[in-house]
Structure 1
Amino acid sequence: MAKVKYIRIIVILECTCCVQRCVNKELSGIYRYITQKNRHNTPNKLEFRKFCRYCQKYTIHGEIKK
């Protein structure tokens, strides 16, 4: 039998501002969203403007490895 590759995969979006603050130990948490993407239509990493509850504003959330 052939190996099945799923077209839609689950990706995690992470706040880019919180990641920078977490490195400096200014913030305790990182806000993340979970979504799906079509592997064939969007081979590049996703970036969306989403609301971050730690930053209390809309920031860019980028895709991270799972």
Structure 2
Amino acid sequence: MSIVSKKKALLVCEECLSRNYTLHKSTLSQRERLVIKKFCNTCNARTIHKESR
């Protein structure tokens, strides 16, 4: 059984800069920052969300 280290990642809306989503991502397989189009409650629209540092 292999132990995979995971870290908590926050997703930030590009329009209003609110931190809407959290997720766990593997540190070994994903080195680059995530860029996902998700729904933002404050903007009330689907916007681009990027992983914050």
TM-score by length of 2: 0.82
Q: How many residue pairs are counted as aligned between the two chains?
A: 50
Higher helix proportion (structure 1 or 2): 1
Code of the aligned partner of 2:22: I
Deviations, residues 19-51 of structure 1 (Å, cap 9, x unaligned):
3xxxxxxxxxx2421101111111000111110
Q: Which residue does the alignment assign to 2:28?
A: 40
Q: Which has the higher strand share?
A: 2
Over the matched positions of the two proteins, sequence identity in percent amounts to 28
Matches for 1:1-66 after TM superposition, within 5 Å: 7-19=5-17, 30-65=18-53
Structure 1 residue ranges (4+ consecutive) displaced by more than 3 angstroms after TM superposition: none
Q: Amino acid of the residue matched to residue 48 of structure 1?
A: I
Provide structure 2 residue ranges, at least 5 long, that are not aligned to the other structure: none
Name the amino acid aligned to 2:28. H
Q: Which has the larger radius of gyration?
A: 1
Identify unmatched segments of 5+ residues in structure 1. 1-5, 20-29
